[in-house]
Amino acid sequence: MLKKAIAIFMIVFAAGAWGYLDYLNKQEQLAAEQSRKDIEAMRAKAKARAEAIAKFQSEITAQLDTCKLAAETAKADFIIAKQVPVKRKPGEFTIPVEVEAEATTTFEAANAACQSTYDTRLANGS
């Protein structure tokens, strides 16, 4: 009888231990699933942020290129407007040195302004 009682006690104890270990395993699985979901969410946020940064950088780079192109066009238009026809040679023009120097100075200032705007926007992120 004592052997039966001990056997029943051992069976009940083993079943309890098995149930407790199963409970702990389920808790661990839930924690692992939650961790996986958190990692997926962080990965998605990081990907979205990287895409936003790349888009922003491409936009401001395009704006920089447009600004520099506008400065170059303005320089060319200024030179064309200030060119002087060469005497006795129809269709030929000359550009005075002062006009070319002024155009170059204005062009460099415009490029510097474009670059400054680009650098400021890149630093501020806006």
- pLDDT by residue (tens digit) across 101-116? 999 999 999 999 999 9
Report the domain count for the chain. 1
CA distance 77 to 106: 12
Give whichever of 5-14, 32-41, 112-121 has the largest mean pLDDT.
32-41
CB-CB contact of 63 with 56 (8 Å) = no
Q: What is the CA radius of gyration of the chain?
A: 38
* Domain span holding position 119: 2-124
Per-residue pLDDT tens over the stretch 71-103: 999 999 998 888 887 787 787 788 888 889 999
CA distance 60 to 49: 16
Can you give the pTM of this predicted structure? 0.66
* 48 pLDDT higher than 90: yes
